[in-house]
Amino acid sequence: MSKILVVDDEVGIRELLSEILKDEGHDVEQAEDAAAARSARTIGRPDLVLLDIWMPDTDGITLLKEWARNGQLTMPVIMMSGHATIDTAVEATRIGATDFLEKPVGMQKLLAAVKKALEKDARTTAAGLLLDDFPRSAPLRDLKKRLDQMLAKRPLLLLRSMPGSIIELVMNGIHGPGKSGIDLAHDSQPLGVDQLERIQGGVLWCEELLRLTRLQQKNLAFAAERLERYALHLVVGTTHTPAELLAHGWDESVLNRLFETTLGVPGLIELRDEVPELSVQLLARAVASSEVPLRRLTTPALNALRQHAWHGGYAELRGIVKSLALGSLNEDIDEHDVRQLVMPNDQSEHTISAIDAAVLDLPLREAREIFERMYFNFHLQHDGSNMTRLAEKTGLERTHLYRKLKDLGLR
């Protein structure tokens, strides 16, 4: 049985929809306007909302935007209207609505839309966030398009990234619920043809090649030779070079095949502008699954999170958001909470202040070397070891830059 909130200013429509849904075994609550809907959503935490667009106090589109902005769009929302245009329906879907129903709403259409929305929400909650959950983010939207485009043409794809990437977020959509597959990093038994037959049309994956044991490497090689036969996809990720993997015991011919088609996955350091939206969505998912109490991230808190270096990438962000929700003493998480829980470990902002007066007493060559080491170390930490960005900031050609870092003992 699911908890459904019906929001409509027409009492006759509210009563009719409620009766139909109650007959199907759902627990139904009603709200006559946006103010009542806000209260019912906060107190009752419905599993699904049926939301009318035209209401006397605040229209449904504005309320939907408000919930999305505040991280409260933790449940599927089906919009309803008798006068909406196609543009309105498209806008509602872009904001986060699951479906759109025209009034008068037929019983069969209503029940089908409700069933579809509840099933989709259950699958998404189990799978974690996906790239599809960020339609307003141009970088994440483009990454998803490139991923789909390449997988449509190739059965094997390698995701290359630096430490601190969002590869977990990318992988979530590849092996989500409803898709048969095998996590090669968790399978400790020899892989056989019967297993490939059972997941025909599915996917095999692993987030980091370096973590695979010799047996798991053999399983990957076995599957790679049979992808087309069983209509399978193999998607793997790594932060390492072929030479590093070769030194770890990988077969060179297997590596050559894996590195034929690659897609770069950005790190959070390159996605600073997306961190606020990622944080809001992560918090909303944690609240919806009852992992944390009801909390909201204020704008100053989101700005503070955006400024963090995030060397640990998506996994670090996910952990910090949960920690903030559990550790905050108030419903609103403010900048002070973020500074206490996140910034004490972020020493990069204070590195330059470590230069003390003693350096000024050293010979120029030694003082310059100390300063250069601190200068480059600061920018390496601040930009997540992004060499292209470092070269641009320092004004050094990449070959000269690498030589300089080597001379200073910096990686």
Whether residue 176 sits in one domain with residue 162: yes
Is 4 within 8 Å of 30 (Cβ atoms)? no
Instruction: Provide the 10 A C-beta neighbour count for residue 8.
Output: 26
Shared-domain flag, residues 218 and 253 = yes
Instruction: Please state the pTM of the whole predicted model.
Output: 0.58
Residue 258 lies in a domain: yes
Q: Are residues 38 and 95 in the same domain?
A: yes
Q: Give the residue numbers spanning the domain of 74.
A: 3-127
The CA-based angle 294-300-303, given to 5 degrees, is: 105
Domain end marker among 127, 147, 166:
127
- Stretch among 16-20, 282-286, 340-344 having the lowest mean pLDDT: 340-344
26-30, 71-75, 251-255: least confident range: 71-75
Whether residue 330 is found in the same domain as residue 394 = no
Q: Could you tell me the sign of the dihedral formed by the alpha carbons of 121, 124, 129, 135, in that order?
A: negative
Angstrom distance (rounded) from CA 326 to CA 87: 40
Instruction: Tell me the pLDDT tens digit for each residue of 294-346.
Output: 999 999 999 999 988 888 888 889 889 998 999 889 999 999 999 887 765 55
What is the structure's pLDDT at 352? 39
In the numeric block, the tokens 């944690």 are attached to 286
CATH code for position 292: 1.10.8.60
Structure token pair of residue 297: 């991230």
Sign of CA dihedral 125, 129, 132, 138: positive
pLDDT digits (tens, 9 = 90+) for 132-180: 888 889 999 999 999 999 999 999 999 998 878 899 899 888 875 556 7
Provide the percentage of residues in the chain whose pLDDT is more than 90. 43
Residue 43 shares a structural domain with residue 14: yes
Q: Are residues 261 and 143 in the same domain?
A: yes
Count of domains forming the chain = 4
User: CA 389 to CA 276: how far, in whole Å?
Assistant: 22
Same domain assignment for residues 233 and 164 = yes
Q: Domain check: are 296 and 232 in the same one? A: no
Among residues 345, 367, 386, the one where a domain terminates is 345
- Examine the pLDDT at 85 and tell me if it is beyond 80: no
- Claim to verify: residue 262 and residue 273 sit in the same structural domain: no
Identify the CA nearest to 76 among candidates 148, 22, 4.
Answer: 4
Rounded Cα gap, residues 336 and 380, in angstroms: 26
What CATH number corresponds to the domain at position 84?
Answer: 3.40.50.2300
Q: Is residue 133 one of the residues assigned to a domain?
A: no
Q: Please give the pLDDT value at position 382.
A: 66
- Per-residue pLDDT tens for 198-230? 888 889 999 999 989 999 999 999 999 999 999
pLDDT for residue 362: 64
Verify that 156 and 258 share a domain, yes or no.
Answer: yes
Residue 46 neighbours by CB under 8 Å, 6+ apart? 3, 4, 5, 29, 40, 75
Pair 262, 301 in one domain? no
Residues 6+ apart with CB under 8 A from 138: none
Identify whether residues 88 and 169 lie together within a single domain: no
CA distance 318 to 275: 11
